[in-house]
Structure 1
Amino acid sequence: MHFRKLDLNLLVALDALIRNQNVSIAAEELHLSQSAMSSSLSRLRRYFNDDLLIQTGRKMVLSPLAEQLEEPIRDILVKIDASIMLKPGFDPTTSDREFRICVSDYMLHTLIPYVIEMTQKQGCTVKLNFLPQVSDPKNELDRGEADLLILPEIFCSDYHLSEPLITDEFVCVVWDQSELSKEGMTMDAFMSAGHICMQPPNSNPSFETHAYEMKGVSRRIDVRTFSFSCIPSLVVGTNLIATLQKRLIDKSILQGMALKSFATPVKLPLLRESMQWHKYQNADLGIIWLRQVFKEAVTRL
């Protein structure tokens, strides 16, 4: 199909070329031969009268025009994809649709087991693909690479739709045989002790680190890790302090880990997790069903 003399199939190729900035990788993504993708690039260059991708040394970079086209082309394709998914009905017990959900490992450890349990009990045939959170989650929705984000409310984008999901608070946790466990959590003990914290890969500080900084509290970080859920086991056998979500700590203690929790020495804001989805998918019955599953899972916590 053509529109204004442009083969609309080339829009998919253009999107892949812009995102990957590599002909071979774009061809592999679309299951095309490299020569076929090179031909598509040549046709696109003739149509736009622009190089689009410029060879610079061993890599290719976007031309100024390609940079301008990146967002509108992706937006068009995401809107088409969302429109295709608007079918008269959605039955999770017969659908083979895969839902891509960006979550933190904190959510994977606490809430997601109940989500999976519910879908299993319902006899669902849908697929759930849980993806790690990234530094700019809005881009995952913009590019159509995620169907749902579970993230702190403060990180939600105003551009897409969202709704509150769950609230948690932060507590300090130590090994129950440590000196800190016996002495209690005073401000002096907190400031003089070493801490372990989660540092998101290639991202800004975690929520609780940012919250402490806003309170003027600078901790001595001795250990950093990329995972929330591993921290309880890393605390055991040490004199380190961790500040973690209460639901995560409660579950770890319930599972028999030798931990003791205390209130944080300064009051931190509550962690308010939300669900966010693309504005084009608001009427998508599959997304509506998925959001309802998450809301029901919260009631089981």
Structure 2
Amino acid sequence: MRINSLDLNLLIVLDALLTHENVTRVAEQLNVTQPTISNALSRLRLHFKDELLVLVGRRMVPTPLASRLRDPVSELLRQAQRVALTRSSFDPAEAETDIVIAASDYVVDALVLDVQRELLHRAPRINTQIVSLSAAVRQQFAEGKLDLMFHPPEFVNANDHFETVFEDKFVPVIWERNDAVGATLPLDAFQSMPYAAIEFGESSHISQSDLYFSRAGITRNIRLRLPNYINLAAAVIGTPLVASLPWLLARHWVGKGLRVVKPDFTFPALPEVMCWPAHLNDDPGNQWLRGLVKDKAQRLQALIDAAFSHP
């Protein structure tokens, strides 16, 4: 590389000459021949229009200009070495940045808020924005404008970087005072009861449970459609409605207006996938954040597995 016609590699030779003041020692240090060092010195003299080092007896003595160059050249090479050794690093306690996470209200409640609590303690200078899933948000993710996005695997694109972080299970919920249903919910009762369904956003995506029921040929008497799980849970209270909620969310409503009943037919699972942009795949900060998410998600998975370990 050249700056103002100076080959910067020559500065390595100049620094060594100013340190040792001996061509032979410099040649040995740099593992080159003495003529190579002499040629480099000639080029340096030509550029600076100065002798730089003058032979006095057996010793090469720097000129006044060379003496002035000694410290700047040495510092420049040290800086260059530091740049060459620089690697990406991340200290959560010192990091100052903004992150954007996209997730459904259910995943925010079950996982993301717990991650955010940890961030406040371990990375107090990181600012977090949590946004709801939508077509516009998915486009922002495709453009690399988000840090993480959570959704079911059906929405993963071919080029996405992703990992399944946990798998919840849907459960049927009813109002806790609905005496028409016992501890077990038969299929025919489920199909005849008024049903509250989910339709997400402007594109009206249905929930994974309703997608499963449709594919399995299980009909529902849909009487109410709502845009998120939190509204869905609240809407069932005080009504004869039945709804399908992820267990991680439903457990918080037990004793607060809802009752979970056991179906005598198969209810679907709900895997959740964490996606991140390709350009952040090797970023230490994003890797640390993903590790934090996975740690929290593993604890959730242990709760889910324990809850469904007995028939």
- Give the TM-score band, short-chain normalised: 0.5 to 0.7
Identical columns (%): 25
Contact 1:96/1:125 (<8 A) preserved? yes
Alpha-carbon displacement from aligned partner over 1:140-198 (angstroms, at most 9, x marks no partner): 32222312111112221121111111110011000111133347411121111101121
Larger Rg: 2
Pairing 1:112–2:112 present: yes
CA shift at 1:280, angstroms?
2.0
User: Which residue does 2:6 correspond to in 1?
Assistant: none
Q: Distance in 2 between matches of 1:217 and 1:236?
A: 24
- Name the SS for the 1:229 alignment partner: helix
1:42-191 matches, within 5 Å, as 88-135=88-135, 138-182=138-182, 184-191=184-191
User: Which residue does 1:229 correspond to in 2?
Assistant: 230
User: Which residue does 1:292 correspond to in 2?
Assistant: 291
CA shift at 1:107, angstroms?
0.9
User: Which residue does 2:209 correspond to in 1?
Assistant: 208
Q: Distance in 1 between matches of 2:200 and 2:239?
A: 23
Q: TM-score, normalised by structure 1?
A: 0.66
Contact 2:106/2:230 (<8 A) preserved? yes
CA shift at 1:133, angstroms?
0.6
Q: Distance in 2 between matches of 1:121 and 1:300?
A: 19
The one-letter code matched in structure 2 to 1:219 is R
User: Which residue does 1:248 correspond to in 2?
Assistant: 249
User: Which residue does 2:83 correspond to in 1?
Assistant: none
CA shift at 1:237, angstroms?
0.7
CA shift at 1:228, angstroms?
0.4
Q: TM-score, normalised by structure 2?
A: 0.64
Q: Distance in 2 between matches of 1:269 and 1:135?
A: 25
Alpha-carbon displacement from aligned partner over 1:96-152 (angstroms, at most 9, x marks no partner): 211111100001111122112211221431111111111476523222231211111
- Name the SS for the 2:289 alignment partner: helix
Aligned length: 214
The one-letter code matched in structure 2 to 1:258 is G
- Name the SS for the 1:90 alignment partner: coil
Q: Distance in 2 between matches of 1:299 and 1:277?
A: 19
Q: 1:265 to 1:137 in 2, by over 3 A?
A: farther
- Name the SS for the 1:177 alignment partner: coil
Contact 1:167/1:272 (<8 A) preserved? yes
The one-letter code matched in structure 2 to 1:250 is R
Q: 1:212 to 1:233 in 2, by over 3 A?
A: same
Q: 1:101 to 1:191 in 2, by over 3 A?
A: same
The gaps in structure 1 that reach 5 residues or longer are 1-85
Q: Distance in 2 between matches of 1:277 and 1:87?
A: 21
Alpha-carbon displacement from aligned partner over 1:42-81 (angstroms, at most 9, x marks no partner): xxxxxxxxxxxxxxxxxxxxxxxxxxxxxxxxxxxxxxxx
